[in-house]
Amino acid sequence: MNTSMILRALANGVNPDTGELLSRSSVAQTPEMIRMLFTLAEELVDVSAKIKKTKLSLHERQQKNIAEGKPAKSYFPWSNEEKLQLAEGYTAGKTVEALSLELGRSGRAVAIQLEKLGLITAEQLMNYQ
């Protein structure tokens, strides 16, 4: 049961743990407290709806990936510039590991993109599981 539901139960005169009715002498049953509990419950619903709708910026998504121990650009689409940089780096002799650090991608993501660009074979791609 979330906080909003607990507050609603109290405002309706119900003990949220047991489901029993609260006594009339309970402080939660005063008119002011009932109004306050309903207001708080509604406020919490509004806040949680706003939090769910907030979309992270690119920078925030990168920071979240780093905090989770992933490369900064995990699950980001590849831009044409990055594909070009990848192709040029690989043909210049850079390793997949070096390119992954440079581009903020996992070694596997770099290898998949190299295979899509026709720079490595599917068999070579399997080395980066």
51 pLDDT above the threshold of 80: no
Q: Tell me what pLDDT residue 16 has.
A: 84
Residue in the structure block whose two tokens are 């080395």: 127
d(Cα 8, Cα 19) in Å, to the nearest integer?
Answer: 12
The reply to whether the predicted model has a pTM over 0.75 is: no
* CA distances in angstroms from 82 to 46, 79, 119, listed in the order given: 40, 5, 15
Higher pLDDT, residue 90 or 51: 90
For residue 120, the one-letter residue type is I
Q: So what's the pLDDT on residue 13?
A: 87
Q: Where are the domains of the chain?
A: 3-53, 58-128
Q: What is the mean pLDDT of residues 99-125?
A: 94
pLDDT (average), residues 52-65: 85
For the CA atoms of 65, 71, 76, 78, the dihedral, rounded to the nearest 10 degrees, stands at 170
